[in-house]
Amino acid sequence: MSDRLRLGVNIDHVATIRNARGGDHPDPVRAAQIVASVGGDGITAHLREDRRHIRDDDLKRIQQATDLPLNLEMAATEEMLAIALAHKPHAACIVPEKREERTTEGGLDAAGLHNSLVPLVDRLREASIRVSLFIEANEAQLDAAIRLGVPVVEFHTGEYAHACLDGDGERVERELKRISDMAALAVKNGIEPHAGHGLTYENVQPIAAIPQLAELNIGHYLVGEAVFVGLEEAVRRMRELMDDAR
Ligand SMILES: CC(=O)[C@@H](O)[C@H](O)COP(=O)(O)O
Ligand SMILES: NCC(=O)COP(=O)(O)O
């Protein structure tokens, strides 16, 4: 596995700001172009059922505007499957989704949903889309990912991020061990492990130091930081912290 940890930048919340006024500014496409210009490795966008940030037409515009691989985060629904098959992103990451949630709470229950995920994963795979599952780092979920034959899992780092915010060192260590153990087990089973959610300048380095992880997806914090220092500088600084951790 290469030492270079890829950085996928989630641009959802550029669209959140745009949508607050119903116009075209700020345009997530411009954000994607800046990410490309500063050496980001990919663009992540979550097309939610309620379209609260990224909208359908953004996907095509992002794909046309940059050569960076697009990682489309999508719920396991027929509607989203049809959209993924129409756009053929580089990767599709299947995420849990609740309309009333503020953000993605917890990972996909790949174990419980196994049978309904089989046809969805198969159809994405047949379309040569790299399928990923956004799961909690535990054996039951990883085992389901193995049985589904997906090439990638992304471990939800939300609980780790909360533990960091709470200053609870014991929980932080427990979360890091959980993610690190499952990353090693994923690689052993031929699955490429990624991680993301709630990562910041302050908490990214212990995650980035997990040698098996191949990619981090980071969004909300970078967009927030971009308000103060610009997106280019925010991505550059995150890249630097990730590189220093390896
Ligand atoms: C699945 C995931 O973690 C990202 O999609 C990120 O959460 C985007 O932001 P929202 O959850 O606020 O839509
Ligand atoms: N899959 C996680 C992601 O894309 C970014 O999450 P966040 O940094 O916006 O919390």
Domain ranges of the chain: 6-245
Output the CA–CA distances (angstroms, integers) from residue 8 to 69, 73, 218, 235, in the order listed: 9, 12, 6, 10
The verdict on the CB of residue 197 being under 6 Å from ligand 2 is: yes
Flag whether the ipTM exceeds 0.85.
Answer: yes
* 46 part of the active site: yes
Ligand index nearest the alpha carbon of residue 220: 2
Ligand 1 pocket test, pick from 11, 12, 16, 70 with the greatest ligand atom count within 8 Å of Cβ, gives 12
* 162 part of the active site: no
State how far the Cα of 64 lies from the Cα of 12, in Å rounded to an integer: 17
- The answer on pLDDT for 1 being more than 80 is no
Task: Give the pLDDT confidence score for residue 103 in this predicted structure.
Answer: 82
Tell me what percent of the residues of the chain surpass a pLDDT of 70.
99
Residue with CA nearest ligand 1 atom 5: 46
* 197 part of the active site: yes
Q: What is the pLDDT of residues 21-61, one digit of tens each?
A: 999 999 999 999 999 999 999 999 999 999 999 999 999 99
- The answer on pLDDT for 2 being more than 60 is no
Which long-range CB contacts under 8 A does 197-200 form with residues at least 24 apart? Answer: 197/103, 197/104, 197/156, 197/157, 197/158, 197/161, 198/157, 198/158, 198/160, 198/161, 198/162, 199/157, 199/161, 200/161
- Say if CB 161 and CB 198 are below 8 A apart: yes
Q: What is the pLDDT of residues 115-147, one digit of tens each?
A: 999 999 999 999 999 999 999 999 999 999 999
Topology adopted by domain 6-245: TIM Barrel (3.20.20)
